[in-house]
Amino acid sequence: MAKTLPRSPLAPATFPALPEIGGLRFASTAAGVRYQGRTDVMLAVMDPGTSVAGVFTRSATRSAPVLDCQAKLGSNTEQGAAILVNSGNSNAFTGHYGQTSVAEITAAVANKTGLPQDRVFTASTGVIGEPLPHDRILSKLDELNGALSASAMKDAAEAIMTTDTFPKGSAATVDIDGTPVQIAGIAKGSGMIAPDMATMLVYIFTDAAYDQGRLQALLSAENDTSFNCITVDSDTSTSDSLMLCATGASGVDATDHPAFTEALRGVMLDLAHQVVRDGEGATKFVEIQITGAASDADAKIHGLAIANSPLVKTAIAGEDPNWGRVVMAIGKSGAKADRDLLSISFGDVLVAEKGWVAPSYKEELGAAEMKKDEITLKVDLGLGDGSATIWTCDLTHQYITINADYRS
């Protein structure tokens, strides 16, 4: 989709001020991968000593860049690292052509930056099934390598956008033993968003030092309650990539430090929420709180059943407090539920309980909740201590418009 989409009404007012991360530099350019006149390639280069962790889609049809990144995780941290990302073409389902493109790009980036090829990671996002014109990217590597700057993270965020209506960034500063440690991240994602993971690219950087094995464990754990708890349209991408890079430039070892974990969690949740707020055609940001489930796993199943229901999502778009559709989604989820024990609330308005509409419920109260830009749906199953929180958005006519015209 070459035309510019209107900015999401749920977008943050401004792009945040992101700190410079020691040992990290960015550059971006317009290579014309699919469209002319827009930046579509970004390069990030990190100094020796950088630990790299990653979580990727488990799609059976995942892309060549994803497979290559997965194979390279755990490589020698004594070397620097680089990440090159293009938008406009996902380099997925392209057979040996996709593998060739990845090999050509990683070899060329390694040559330009002086890094080993097994420390060069790539990602591609955009149309599936078309060979990546990687020569267009290779022709821009001298320009990218010469333009690397510590202050160019926002430009990198813009270069990886597809149907996104705003660039996504987040940052945090955490004090560890009297020394400030910086965390900053960027993301893209708008449609084809569903857990395991969502269709998105996320890159988070810190100047902390962190043991590589423990960094991988940390990222995997925090992903389960952030990016794996968002959904826009229930479709899982071939290209999902979430990477966390710790340059160590601050000289502070943050391995397993609780304050660092908390700060990282905040950045990941912020970026995950921004992806939902930029859901294709979204006008409502929805938080679904599930409590009282038989287990946390059951709670997540119920939450996703509600969040992914087209009937629930269109009712929210129409500002209709149709709580019967929530009942339907719970009943079909496959997780344990008892009609006579569950309760449903819109915000603080109790809607249904004990197998029936709540005696105190008035339709105008539910309707008032549905008119808000940010809506909370609460379900208590009354079965146990399991809980989960899922984030989603509504489903509007604009979603159809965007996706009916995606390749033109």
- Residue 197, pLDDT > 60, answer no
Q: What is the pLDDT of residue 108?
A: 98
CA-to-CA distance for 131 and 347, rounded, in angstroms? 47
Confidence of residue 232 (pLDDT cuts 50, 70, 90): confident
Confidence of residue 200 (pLDDT cuts 50, 70, 90): confident
How many CB atoms are closer than 10 A to CB 140?
A: 21
pLDDT tens-digit map of 131-166: 999 999 999 999 999 999 999 999 999 999 988 999
CATH code linked to domain 285-404: 3.10.20.340
The yes/no answer on whether domain 24-277 falls in CATH 1.20.1600.10 is: no
Q: Give the dihedral of Cα atoms 187, 192, 193, 196; nearest 10 deg.
A: -100
- Residue 193, pLDDT > 70, answer no
Q: What is the pLDDT of residue 240?
A: 78
Average model confidence (pLDDT) across the chain = 92
- Residue 18, pLDDT > 80, answer yes
To which residue do tokens 């910086």 refer? 182
- Residue 234, pLDDT > 60, answer no
Distances (CA, A) of 44 to 49, 100, 241: 15, 21, 15
Name the residues annotated as catalytic: 199
Q: Which of the residue ranges 99-103, 109-113, 200-204 would you say has the lowest mean pLDDT?
A: 200-204
Q: Which two tokens stand for residue 235?
A: 């479709």
Question: For the chain, what are the domain ranges?
Answer: 24-277, 285-404
Please state the rounded mean pLDDT for residues 351-358.
96
* SS3 label, residue 209: strand
Closest CA to 35 of 4, 5, 86, 1: 1
In one letter, which amino acid is 233?
A: D
pLDDT tens-digit map of 19-59: 999 999 999 999 999 988 899 999 999 999 999 999 988 77
pLDDT tens-digit map of 291-340: 999 999 999 999 999 999 999 999 999 999 999 999 999 999 999 999 99
CA-to-CA distance for 225 and 388, rounded, in angstroms? 8
User: pTM of this prediction?
Assistant: 0.93
